[in-house]
Amino acid sequence: MTIKDTLLYLGKATLFGLIMAAIFLLVTRYFDNQSLGNNLLQTRANNTVELSFAKAVRRAAPAVVNIYSLSIDQTRPLNSGSLQGLGSGVIMSKEGYILTNYHVIKKADEIVVALQDGRKFTSEVVGFDPETDLSVLKIEGDNLPIVPVNLESPPQVGDVVLAIGNPYNLGQTITQGIISATGRNGLSSGYLDFLQTDAAINAGNSGGALIDTNGSLIGINTAAFQVGEEGGGHGINFAIPIKLAHSIMNKLIKNGRVIRGALGISGEPINPVVAQILNLPDLKGVLITGIDPNGPAARAQLMPRDVIIKYDDEDVPGVEMLMDRIAETTPGEKVMMTVIRQGKQQELPVIIDEKVVVDN
Catalytic residues: 103, 133, 206
| DSSP letter assigned to residue 84 | E
CA–CA distances in Å: residue 134 to residues 42, 47, 248: 36, 46, 8
The answer to whether 287 and 273 have CB atoms below 8 angstroms apart is: no
CA–CA distances in Å: residue 230 to residues 104, 166, 226, 233, 234: 20, 21, 7, 9, 10
Bin 235: left if φ > 0, else alpha if -120 < ψ < 50, else beta. Answer: left
CB atoms within 10 A of CB 144: 22
3-state secondary structure of 32: helix
CB atoms within 10 A of CB 79: 9
How many whole angstroms separate alpha carbon 151 and alpha carbon 293? 40
3-state secondary structure of 245: helix
How many whole angstroms separate alpha carbon 102 and alpha carbon 91? 15
Helices and strands of the chain, counted as H and E runs: 7, 22
53 burial via Cβ count (<10 Å: 0-12, 13-18, 19+): buried
**φ and ψ of 345, to 5 deg:** -90, 135
How many whole angstroms separate alpha carbon 286 and alpha carbon 276? 15
Question: How far does the chain reach from its first CA to its final CA, in angstroms?
Answer: 97
